[in-house]
Structure 1
Amino acid sequence: MLDFIRKNSFTILYTFFLGLMPLLVSSSISYWVITHEQEIQAFTFQNWILAFVVACFTMAFALTPTTFIALLSGYFLGWKAFLPIAITYWIASFLGFKTAQVIDGGRFLQILSEKPKVKQVLENLQKDEFKIILLARLSPVLPFAVTNVLFSFSGTKLRNFLTAGFLGMLPRTMLSIWIGTQAQEIKKLIEHPSEGSLSQILILGLIGGSILGLGYFIKKAVEK
Protein backbone atom coordinates (compact mmCIF):
# COMPACT_ATOMS: atom_id res chain seq x y z
CA MET A 1 0.00 0.00 0.00
CA LEU A 2 2.81 2.41 0.95
CA ASP A 3 4.62 1.54 -2.26
CA PHE A 4 1.46 2.29 -4.27
CA ILE A 5 1.09 5.70 -2.57
CA ARG A 6 4.77 6.52 -3.12
CA LYS A 7 4.64 5.69 -6.83
CA ASN A 8 1.42 7.67 -7.32
CA SER A 9 1.97 10.49 -4.81
CA PHE A 10 1.62 13.31 -7.35
CA THR A 11 -1.41 11.68 -8.94
CA ILE A 12 -3.11 11.28 -5.54
CA LEU A 13 -2.29 14.87 -4.53
CA TYR A 14 -3.68 16.17 -7.83
CA THR A 15 -6.94 14.27 -7.31
CA PHE A 16 -7.20 15.59 -3.73
CA PHE A 17 -6.60 19.12 -5.01
CA LEU A 18 -9.44 18.74 -7.52
CA GLY A 19 -11.82 17.63 -4.80
CA LEU A 20 -11.00 20.50 -2.46
CA MET A 21 -10.61 23.54 -4.72
CA PRO A 22 -14.27 24.05 -5.80
CA LEU A 23 -15.30 24.67 -2.19
CA LEU A 24 -12.62 27.31 -1.71
CA VAL A 25 -12.85 29.17 -5.00
CA SER A 26 -16.64 29.15 -5.45
CA SER A 27 -17.12 31.03 -2.15
CA SER A 28 -14.93 33.88 -3.42
CA ILE A 29 -16.71 33.95 -6.77
CA SER A 30 -20.09 33.92 -5.00
CA TYR A 31 -19.17 37.06 -3.08
CA TRP A 32 -18.02 38.80 -6.27
CA VAL A 33 -21.19 37.82 -8.17
CA ILE A 34 -23.46 39.04 -5.37
CA THR A 35 -21.68 42.40 -5.16
CA HIS A 36 -21.50 42.89 -8.96
CA GLU A 37 -24.92 41.60 -10.04
CA GLN A 38 -25.87 44.74 -11.98
CA GLU A 39 -22.60 44.70 -13.90
CA ILE A 40 -23.12 41.06 -14.87
CA GLN A 41 -26.69 41.82 -15.97
CA ALA A 42 -25.17 44.33 -18.42
CA PHE A 43 -22.73 41.81 -19.95
CA THR A 44 -22.48 41.90 -23.74
CA PHE A 45 -22.38 38.84 -26.01
CA GLN A 46 -18.58 39.07 -26.07
CA ASN A 47 -18.46 39.24 -22.27
CA TRP A 48 -20.45 36.03 -21.99
CA ILE A 49 -18.30 34.26 -24.58
CA LEU A 50 -15.22 35.16 -22.53
CA ALA A 51 -16.95 34.03 -19.32
CA PHE A 52 -17.75 30.61 -20.78
CA VAL A 53 -14.22 30.22 -22.17
CA VAL A 54 -12.84 30.91 -18.70
CA ALA A 55 -15.40 28.47 -17.23
CA CYS A 56 -14.02 25.70 -19.47
CA PHE A 57 -10.74 25.91 -17.56
CA THR A 58 -12.15 26.62 -14.10
CA MET A 59 -14.41 23.55 -14.32
CA ALA A 60 -11.74 21.33 -15.87
CA PHE A 61 -9.30 22.12 -13.07
CA ALA A 62 -11.83 22.18 -10.23
CA LEU A 63 -11.83 25.90 -9.53
CA THR A 64 -15.61 26.06 -9.88
CA PRO A 65 -18.28 23.33 -9.57
CA THR A 66 -20.23 22.66 -12.76
CA THR A 67 -23.58 22.98 -10.99
CA PHE A 68 -22.55 26.39 -9.66
CA ILE A 69 -21.82 27.64 -13.20
CA ALA A 70 -25.12 26.26 -14.52
CA LEU A 71 -27.12 27.86 -11.70
CA LEU A 72 -25.58 31.29 -12.33
CA SER A 73 -25.99 30.96 -16.09
CA GLY A 74 -29.65 30.06 -15.67
CA TYR A 75 -30.19 33.04 -13.39
CA PHE A 76 -28.59 35.59 -15.71
CA LEU A 77 -29.35 34.11 -19.16
CA GLY A 78 -32.33 31.82 -18.68
CA TRP A 79 -32.64 28.91 -21.11
CA LYS A 80 -30.36 30.69 -23.58
CA ALA A 81 -27.57 29.40 -21.36
CA PHE A 82 -28.21 25.76 -22.24
CA LEU A 83 -26.17 25.49 -25.45
CA PRO A 84 -23.09 27.40 -24.21
CA ILE A 85 -23.17 25.48 -20.93
CA ALA A 86 -23.39 22.14 -22.76
CA ILE A 87 -20.44 23.07 -24.99
CA THR A 88 -18.48 24.35 -21.99
CA TYR A 89 -19.05 21.09 -20.10
CA TRP A 90 -17.87 19.05 -23.08
CA ILE A 91 -14.67 21.07 -23.51
CA ALA A 92 -13.98 21.02 -19.75
CA SER A 93 -14.41 17.22 -19.76
CA PHE A 94 -11.89 16.88 -22.58
CA LEU A 95 -9.36 19.18 -20.90
CA GLY A 96 -9.65 17.43 -17.55
CA PHE A 97 -9.38 13.96 -19.10
CA LYS A 98 -6.35 14.72 -21.28
CA THR A 99 -4.54 16.62 -18.51
CA ALA A 100 -4.94 13.65 -16.17
CA GLN A 101 -3.56 11.36 -18.88
CA VAL A 102 -0.46 13.52 -19.23
CA ILE A 103 0.07 13.73 -15.46
CA ASP A 104 -0.40 10.02 -14.79
CA GLY A 105 1.08 8.56 -17.95
CA GLY A 106 -0.73 5.25 -17.38
CA ARG A 107 1.13 4.48 -14.12
CA PHE A 108 -2.00 4.24 -11.97
CA LEU A 109 -3.67 1.67 -14.21
CA GLN A 110 -0.44 -0.27 -14.66
CA ILE A 111 0.10 -0.63 -10.92
CA LEU A 112 -3.52 -1.67 -10.32
CA SER A 113 -3.29 -4.19 -13.15
CA GLU A 114 -0.40 -5.94 -11.39
CA LYS A 115 -2.96 -7.40 -8.99
CA PRO A 116 -4.93 -10.14 -10.83
CA LYS A 117 -8.20 -9.64 -8.94
CA VAL A 118 -8.14 -5.85 -9.40
CA LYS A 119 -7.23 -6.26 -13.06
CA GLN A 120 -10.20 -8.60 -13.56
CA VAL A 121 -12.59 -6.15 -11.88
CA LEU A 122 -11.30 -3.28 -14.06
CA GLU A 123 -11.74 -5.35 -17.20
CA ASN A 124 -15.30 -6.20 -16.15
CA LEU A 125 -16.06 -2.54 -15.49
CA GLN A 126 -14.67 -1.54 -18.89
CA LYS A 127 -17.28 -3.76 -20.57
CA ASP A 128 -19.98 -1.45 -19.18
CA GLU A 129 -17.96 1.77 -19.16
CA PHE A 130 -20.43 3.74 -21.31
CA LYS A 131 -23.26 3.09 -18.84
CA ILE A 132 -21.01 3.68 -15.83
CA ILE A 133 -19.82 7.05 -17.17
CA LEU A 134 -23.39 8.10 -17.92
CA LEU A 135 -24.53 7.17 -14.39
CA ALA A 136 -21.56 8.91 -12.76
CA ARG A 137 -22.30 12.13 -14.65
CA LEU A 138 -25.97 11.92 -13.71
CA SER A 139 -25.33 12.67 -10.04
CA PRO A 140 -25.06 16.36 -9.06
CA VAL A 141 -22.90 15.47 -6.04
CA LEU A 142 -20.07 13.54 -7.71
CA PRO A 143 -17.23 16.05 -8.31
CA PHE A 144 -16.94 16.75 -12.03
CA ALA A 145 -13.15 17.26 -12.13
CA VAL A 146 -12.44 14.24 -9.91
CA THR A 147 -14.50 11.91 -12.08
CA ASN A 148 -12.62 13.24 -15.13
CA VAL A 149 -9.39 12.13 -13.48
CA LEU A 150 -10.67 8.76 -12.28
CA PHE A 151 -12.02 7.79 -15.70
CA SER A 152 -8.79 8.92 -17.32
CA PHE A 153 -6.67 6.89 -14.88
CA SER A 154 -8.82 3.79 -15.38
CA GLY A 155 -8.12 3.66 -19.12
CA THR A 156 -11.57 4.72 -20.30
CA LYS A 157 -11.92 5.26 -24.05
CA LEU A 158 -12.06 8.98 -24.83
CA ARG A 159 -15.01 8.62 -27.23
CA ASN A 160 -17.10 6.79 -24.64
CA PHE A 161 -16.08 9.27 -21.96
CA LEU A 162 -17.09 12.34 -23.96
CA THR A 163 -20.31 10.89 -25.40
CA ALA A 164 -21.66 9.17 -22.29
CA GLY A 165 -20.47 12.03 -20.10
CA PHE A 166 -22.28 14.57 -22.25
CA LEU A 167 -25.52 12.59 -22.18
CA GLY A 168 -25.25 12.02 -18.44
CA MET A 169 -24.72 15.72 -17.76
CA LEU A 170 -27.85 16.80 -19.65
CA PRO A 171 -30.47 16.10 -16.92
CA ARG A 172 -28.49 17.77 -14.13
CA THR A 173 -27.58 20.67 -16.41
CA MET A 174 -31.19 21.29 -17.37
CA LEU A 175 -32.25 21.00 -13.73
CA SER A 176 -29.60 23.50 -12.59
CA ILE A 177 -30.50 25.99 -15.31
CA TRP A 178 -34.20 25.64 -14.45
CA ILE A 179 -33.47 26.28 -10.76
CA GLY A 180 -31.49 29.35 -11.79
CA THR A 181 -34.38 30.69 -13.88
CA GLN A 182 -36.75 30.34 -10.93
CA ALA A 183 -34.61 32.32 -8.49
CA GLN A 184 -35.67 35.84 -7.57
CA GLU A 185 -32.42 36.87 -5.87
CA ILE A 186 -28.84 35.86 -6.68
CA LYS A 187 -27.86 35.69 -3.00
CA LYS A 188 -30.73 33.35 -2.18
CA LEU A 189 -29.90 31.17 -5.20
CA ILE A 190 -26.26 30.78 -4.14
CA GLU A 191 -27.04 30.16 -0.47
CA HIS A 192 -30.05 27.87 -1.03
CA PRO A 193 -29.73 26.42 -4.57
CA SER A 194 -32.06 23.47 -4.02
CA GLU A 195 -34.81 25.24 -2.11
CA GLY A 196 -38.25 24.00 -3.10
CA SER A 197 -39.79 20.55 -2.85
CA LEU A 198 -39.80 19.85 -6.60
CA SER A 199 -36.12 20.66 -7.09
CA GLN A 200 -35.20 18.59 -4.02
CA ILE A 201 -37.16 15.61 -5.31
CA LEU A 202 -35.53 15.85 -8.74
CA ILE A 203 -32.04 16.17 -7.26
CA LEU A 204 -32.61 13.19 -4.96
CA GLY A 205 -33.92 11.25 -7.95
CA LEU A 206 -30.73 11.92 -9.94
CA ILE A 207 -28.51 11.03 -6.99
CA GLY A 208 -30.50 7.90 -6.17
CA GLY A 209 -30.55 6.71 -9.78
CA SER A 210 -26.81 7.28 -10.07
CA ILE A 211 -25.96 5.45 -6.83
CA LEU A 212 -28.20 2.46 -7.56
CA GLY A 213 -26.94 2.13 -11.11
CA LEU A 214 -23.26 2.44 -10.18
CA GLY A 215 -23.76 0.01 -7.30
CA TYR A 216 -25.27 -2.53 -9.67
CA PHE A 217 -22.41 -2.39 -12.18
CA ILE A 218 -19.69 -2.41 -9.50
CA LYS A 219 -21.28 -5.43 -7.81
CA LYS A 220 -21.60 -7.13 -11.18
CA ALA A 221 -17.91 -6.48 -11.97
CA VAL A 222 -16.73 -7.78 -8.57
CA GLU A 223 -18.85 -10.94 -8.64
CA LYS A 224 -17.97 -12.03 -12.18
Structure 2
Amino acid sequence: MSAGLLFGTLTGTIIVSISGTVAAAAAFLIARYFARERILKLVEGNKKFLAIDKAIGENGFRVVTLLRLSPLLPFSVGNYLYGLTSVKFVPYVLGSWLGMLPGTWAYVSAGAFGRAIIQEESDVGFHGGSNQFLTLGLGLLATVLAAAYVTRLAKDAIKDLE
Protein backbone atom coordinates (compact mmCIF):
# COMPACT_ATOMS: atom_id res chain seq x y z
CA MET A 1 0.00 0.00 0.00
CA SER A 2 2.88 2.30 0.78
CA ALA A 3 4.26 1.83 -2.72
CA GLY A 4 0.92 2.90 -4.18
CA LEU A 5 0.79 5.92 -1.91
CA LEU A 6 4.36 6.92 -2.74
CA PHE A 7 4.72 5.95 -6.40
CA GLY A 8 1.24 5.37 -7.85
CA THR A 9 -0.28 2.16 -9.15
CA LEU A 10 1.97 1.23 -12.07
CA THR A 11 5.38 2.16 -10.65
CA GLY A 12 4.41 0.89 -7.19
CA THR A 13 3.27 -2.46 -8.61
CA ILE A 14 6.52 -2.86 -10.54
CA ILE A 15 8.63 -2.08 -7.47
CA VAL A 16 6.66 -4.38 -5.14
CA SER A 17 6.46 -7.16 -7.73
CA ILE A 18 10.21 -7.19 -8.29
CA SER A 19 11.12 -6.91 -4.61
CA GLY A 20 8.56 -9.53 -3.52
CA THR A 21 9.76 -11.99 -6.16
CA VAL A 22 13.41 -11.46 -5.25
CA ALA A 23 12.61 -11.99 -1.55
CA ALA A 24 10.64 -15.16 -2.35
CA ALA A 25 13.53 -16.46 -4.46
CA ALA A 26 16.06 -15.74 -1.71
CA ALA A 27 13.98 -17.58 0.93
CA PHE A 28 13.50 -20.51 -1.47
CA LEU A 29 17.26 -20.77 -2.06
CA ILE A 30 18.03 -20.59 1.66
CA ALA A 31 15.64 -23.46 2.36
CA ARG A 32 16.81 -25.45 -0.68
CA TYR A 33 20.52 -25.29 0.10
CA PHE A 34 20.49 -25.28 3.89
CA ALA A 35 17.57 -27.52 4.86
CA ARG A 36 16.28 -29.73 2.04
CA GLU A 37 18.74 -32.60 2.57
CA ARG A 38 17.98 -32.70 6.30
CA ILE A 39 14.22 -32.72 5.66
CA LEU A 40 14.55 -35.52 3.09
CA LYS A 41 16.42 -37.64 5.65
CA LEU A 42 13.71 -36.97 8.26
CA VAL A 43 10.84 -37.97 5.97
CA GLU A 44 12.63 -40.78 4.19
CA GLY A 45 9.88 -43.36 4.86
CA ASN A 46 6.93 -40.96 4.73
CA LYS A 47 5.10 -41.97 1.55
CA LYS A 48 2.61 -39.11 1.81
CA PHE A 49 5.33 -36.44 1.88
CA LEU A 50 7.19 -38.14 -0.96
CA ALA A 51 4.00 -38.27 -3.05
CA ILE A 52 3.29 -34.58 -2.40
CA ASP A 53 6.92 -33.73 -3.17
CA LYS A 54 6.73 -35.63 -6.45
CA ALA A 55 3.46 -33.93 -7.46
CA ILE A 56 4.86 -30.50 -6.69
CA GLY A 57 8.06 -31.29 -8.58
CA GLU A 58 6.15 -32.43 -11.67
CA ASN A 59 3.57 -29.61 -11.61
CA GLY A 60 5.67 -26.94 -9.92
CA PHE A 61 4.66 -23.88 -11.91
CA ARG A 62 0.95 -24.70 -11.73
CA VAL A 63 0.96 -25.61 -8.04
CA VAL A 64 3.00 -22.58 -6.99
CA THR A 65 0.91 -20.19 -9.08
CA LEU A 66 -2.38 -21.55 -7.73
CA LEU A 67 -1.21 -21.53 -4.13
CA ARG A 68 0.07 -17.97 -4.52
CA LEU A 69 -3.31 -16.89 -5.89
CA SER A 70 -5.08 -18.52 -2.98
CA PRO A 71 -4.21 -17.30 0.49
CA LEU A 72 -4.24 -20.82 1.96
CA LEU A 73 -0.54 -20.66 2.77
CA PRO A 74 1.12 -17.49 4.13
CA PHE A 75 3.68 -16.22 1.59
CA SER A 76 6.60 -16.01 4.00
CA VAL A 77 6.10 -19.61 5.17
CA GLY A 78 5.47 -20.81 1.62
CA ASN A 79 8.74 -19.32 0.38
CA TYR A 80 10.70 -21.62 2.67
CA LEU A 81 8.41 -24.65 2.28
CA TYR A 82 8.72 -24.62 -1.52
CA GLY A 83 12.48 -24.71 -1.10
CA LEU A 84 12.07 -27.97 0.79
CA THR A 85 10.19 -29.56 -2.12
CA SER A 86 11.49 -30.74 -5.48
CA VAL A 87 9.98 -27.84 -7.43
CA LYS A 88 12.57 -26.38 -9.79
CA PHE A 89 13.80 -22.82 -9.22
CA VAL A 90 12.65 -21.15 -12.47
CA PRO A 91 9.07 -22.53 -12.37
CA TYR A 92 8.93 -21.52 -8.69
CA VAL A 93 10.05 -17.95 -9.39
CA LEU A 94 7.75 -17.52 -12.40
CA GLY A 95 4.80 -19.09 -10.59
CA SER A 96 5.43 -16.94 -7.53
CA TRP A 97 5.66 -13.76 -9.58
CA LEU A 98 2.52 -14.51 -11.58
CA GLY A 99 0.55 -15.72 -8.56
CA MET A 100 1.50 -12.73 -6.40
CA LEU A 101 0.80 -10.15 -9.12
CA PRO A 102 -3.00 -9.78 -8.64
CA GLY A 103 -2.66 -9.32 -4.87
CA THR A 104 0.22 -6.92 -5.35
CA TRP A 105 -1.84 -4.89 -7.82
CA ALA A 106 -4.78 -4.81 -5.38
CA TYR A 107 -2.73 -3.59 -2.40
CA VAL A 108 -0.79 -1.04 -4.43
CA SER A 109 -4.05 0.20 -5.99
CA ALA A 110 -5.46 0.70 -2.50
CA GLY A 111 -2.45 2.84 -1.64
CA ALA A 112 -2.82 4.83 -4.87
CA PHE A 113 -6.50 5.32 -4.00
CA GLY A 114 -5.42 6.76 -0.65
CA ARG A 115 -2.99 9.02 -2.49
CA ALA A 116 -5.83 10.27 -4.70
CA ILE A 117 -7.95 11.02 -1.63
CA ILE A 118 -5.11 13.00 -0.07
CA GLN A 119 -4.49 14.94 -3.30
CA GLU A 120 -8.19 15.70 -3.78
CA GLU A 121 -8.47 17.02 -0.23
CA SER A 122 -5.36 19.16 -0.47
CA ASP A 123 -6.00 20.42 -4.02
CA VAL A 124 -9.70 21.11 -4.37
CA GLY A 125 -11.54 19.02 -1.83
CA PHE A 126 -14.18 16.51 -2.87
CA HIS A 127 -16.20 19.12 -4.80
CA GLY A 128 -15.03 19.43 -8.39
CA GLY A 129 -11.57 18.66 -9.64
CA SER A 130 -10.43 15.68 -11.65
CA ASN A 131 -12.07 12.30 -12.05
CA GLN A 132 -8.94 10.59 -10.68
CA PHE A 133 -10.68 9.79 -7.39
CA LEU A 134 -13.62 8.10 -9.10
CA THR A 135 -11.42 6.27 -11.62
CA LEU A 136 -9.12 4.88 -8.94
CA GLY A 137 -12.08 3.92 -6.75
CA LEU A 138 -13.73 1.96 -9.55
CA GLY A 139 -10.39 0.40 -10.46
CA LEU A 140 -9.82 -0.66 -6.86
CA LEU A 141 -13.31 -2.16 -6.65
CA ALA A 142 -12.76 -4.09 -9.89
CA THR A 143 -9.40 -5.32 -8.62
CA VAL A 144 -10.87 -6.57 -5.35
CA LEU A 145 -13.71 -8.36 -7.16
CA ALA A 146 -11.28 -9.93 -9.64
CA ALA A 147 -8.96 -11.03 -6.81
CA ALA A 148 -11.87 -12.67 -4.98
CA TYR A 149 -12.92 -14.48 -8.16
CA VAL A 150 -9.39 -15.66 -8.92
CA THR A 151 -8.98 -16.85 -5.32
CA ARG A 152 -12.12 -18.96 -5.66
CA LEU A 153 -10.88 -20.41 -8.96
CA ALA A 154 -7.50 -21.19 -7.39
CA LYS A 155 -9.11 -22.97 -4.43
CA ASP A 156 -11.20 -25.07 -6.82
CA ALA A 157 -8.14 -25.94 -8.90
CA ILE A 158 -6.19 -26.92 -5.77
CA LYS A 159 -9.02 -29.26 -4.76
CA ASP A 160 -8.81 -30.82 -8.22
CA LEU A 161 -5.06 -31.42 -7.75
CA GLU A 162 -5.70 -33.25 -4.50
Sort the TM-score into its range (normalised by shorter chain).
Answer: 0.7 to 0.9
Deviation per residue, 1:127-157 (Å, 9 max, x gap): 2111000111113563211111110111221
Query: Please, which runs of 5 or more residues in structure 2 have no aligned partner?
Result: 119-139
Relative contact order (C-alpha < 8 Å, sep 6+): which is higher? 2
Using the size of structure 1 for normalisation, the TM-score is 0.54
Aligned-pair identity (%): 21
Task: Measure, in 2, the Cα distance between the counterparts of 1:148 and 1:125.
Answer: 14
> Once the 2 structures are TM-superposed, how far is the Cα of residue 167 of structure 1 from its aligned partner?
1.4
1:73 is paired with a residue of what secondary structure?
helix
Task: Measure, in 1, the Cα distance between the counterparts of 2:14 and 2:48.
Answer: 43
Deviation per residue, 1:46-101 (Å, 9 max, x gap): xxxxxxxxxxxxxxxxxxxxxxxxx1111221122122222111210111111222
> Which entry has the higher C-alpha Rg, 1 or 2?
2
Runs of 4+, deviation exceeding 6 Å: none
Of 67, 73, 78, the match for 2:8 = 78
Task: Measure, in 1, the Cα distance between the counterparts of 2:83 and 2:155.
Answer: 20
> Once the 2 structures are TM-superposed, how far is the Cα of residue 114 of structure 1 from its aligned partner?
1.9
Distance 1:92 1:121, change over 3 A: closer
Partner of 1:208: 152
Partner of 2:137: none
Partner of 1:96: 27
Partner of 2:123: none
Matched, 1:164 2:108: no
Task: Measure, in 1, the Cα distance between the counterparts of 2:101 and 2:76.
Answer: 17
Task: Measure, in 2, the Cα distance between the counterparts of 1:98 and 1:176.
Answer: 26
Whether the aligned pair in 2 keeps the contact of 1:109 and 1:154 (CA below 8 Å) is no
Distance 1:163 1:142, change over 3 A: same
RMSD of aligned residue pairs (Cα, Å):
2.3
Query: Please, which runs of 5 or more residues in structure 1 have no aligned partner?
Result: 1-70, 186-195, 220-224
Using the size of structure 2 for normalisation, the TM-score is 0.72
Task: Measure, in 1, the Cα distance between the counterparts of 2:2 and 2:70.
Answer: 19
